[in-house]
Chain A
């Protein structure tokens, strides 16, 4: 089986000069390669500033890597072609509130990607939007709602609906759960698991929450200072971490959990 998304030796260098006389600071991402199959979930973990979000941006095409290849659905052209790429890979952001336009209703927000990427007419688009809203657990009435009329959880659902509206094969999510409350968070986790089962979506997600990473991901990628330091099955990585960075992250999490069980 050919993987749905394959990254080979992608490299990205980011140069930054704080002032004219100061030394250049350089951030190097990669080289890193990995592959993603249909219906699989990959989690990217690592410390702050390790380049996790940069990977997400490279995969969705917001940043062009300077070296290396990303192939989508088995060919490089698919990733280079903006039309196919935007239809196949969609992204969910961390602060869904700040990336939603408060002056647009949910309906018009969801019309936009359909308008730009498909040749559907108005009524077909509208039917598609209502179907997607139902799919993510909202009502067709939410079509007329504005951002500020909805709660956090509902906004998150709209963000997921916006990602799903073009029937993507891959969804890239940058910290989708960080801003959510515990009870809403488990609802969203359930929703994502349900959608993955129904639609065979592949997920790439970045998270700090090791409990959720362990629960929903099949594979883990551990990043440190722009380098991929560990890569493997979630269960194996959590059971037997190899790299010091991974060890530290996993140990810190399990220490917190075991202290919890000691106390009860």
Chain B
């Protein structure tokens, strides 16, 4: 059974006169012990999905969804307190840009100790409990691969290099022994050695602790190394989702193909200094979203029909939303939902 299930999530952001549909019917499931990647460029709504899961949205924004459930419990119709309990213990989030997510005015040691739930500390005198917290925080740091804890415990966040603060964020997220770990762009701006370390750490946690990981990134190299399934987002719409292998081998949506082609590492036969394949234009801003399929204006095979939002279609476990998928570029698909 799915641990986390999101069905048809739409998010509306008011912008003065009208409401902007920032997320358009996004569906996502995460099974226990699965590593799922959420791929999309900036502005595609990856972070908005995370914020709707944890409920950290401004009150003026409205969420509409068929369901968002965690382990069978409905997260949307839950009291604030209950929801906070789940977020505290079962779902942990590692936010983007660790140096700014950490509190700049508090030392690292205090921040890690704060993230350890009280239940983990056996009763004792105050100095014994203090000692215990210290031990747990040091073992957490060792677990994520920071060996010289002495050097970093007494630091403020601005004194740390990015990769160490990234690992610290993961350590703090793991302190409450969660069932789901959501990492938001945790390999951004890292060199290949550190990146490999972080990826290995996450896969190890997934195997040993049966931790489900929602790996949010636009780094395809990292995604293919880690994840079993992936969902590709573009401008708040789910473009394609399925097993990483089948998506990489045979992308059906033009956007997925463009994303794969844009990385020079994936093309062995590419001569150096030759031109890369790139979609023209840039991602539209939220104020100027195109109607219908939002890739429309940038899509190489866009036709007249693309002003209507395509219905998601499914081949085995591979789901895509496109009128003219790459395996049938000229035949318009049916208007109703069919399972081939």
Contact = CB atoms under 8 A, between A and B. Distances in A.
Interface stretch (B101-109, B205-213, B244-252): B244-252
Nearest to B191: A208
Interface string B146-164: 0000000000000001110
A256 B190 CA distance: 14
A100 B225 CA distance: 36
Interface in B154-203: 161-163, 188-196
Question: Counting chain B CB atoms within 10 Å of each CB, which of A178, A249, A256 scores highest?
Answer: A256
A21 B213 CA distance: 45
A259 to B, nearest CB: 5
B282 A255 contact: no
Contact of B41 (A183, A193, A211, A257): A183
Nearest to B277: A186
Contact of B273 (A151, A210, A215): A215
A182 B196 CA distance: 20
A175 B41 CA distance: 18
Contact of B189 (A151, A208, A212, A215): A208
Interface residues of A, number: 43
B42 A152 contact: yes
Given A49-B161, A263-B248, A264-B245, A252 B196 contact: yes
A260 B195 contact: no
A45 B7 CA distance: 44
Contacts of B262: 182-183, 185-186
A187 interface: yes
Given A256-B196, A256-B221, A48 B163 contact: yes
A10 B122 CA distance: 58
A83 interface: no
A32 interface: no
Contact of B264 (A49, A175, A194, A214): A214
Contact of B272 (A181, A183, A186, A235): A235
B42 A181 contact: yes
Contacts of B244: 263
Interface in A166-218: 175, 178-179, 181-187, 189-190, 193-194, 208, 210-212, 214-216
30 contacts: A47-B193, A48-B194, A151-B283, A181-B218, A182-B259, A183-B41, A183-B258, A186-B278, A187-B278, A189-B264, A190-B278, A193-B273, A208-B189, A210-B192, A211-B221, A214-B264, A214-B265, A215-B273, A248-B193, A249-B191, A252-B195, A255-B196, A256-B195, A256-B221, A259-B224, A260-B224, A260-B225, A263-B244, A263-B248, A264-B248
Interface of A: 45-49, 151-154, 175, 178-179, 181-187, 189-190, 193-194, 208, 210-212, 214-216, 234-235, 248-249, 252-253, 255-257, 259-260, 263-264
Given A153-B282, A182-B220, 8 more contacts: A46-B191, A47-B193, A47-B194, A48-B194, A183-B283, A189-B264, A211-B266, A249-B191
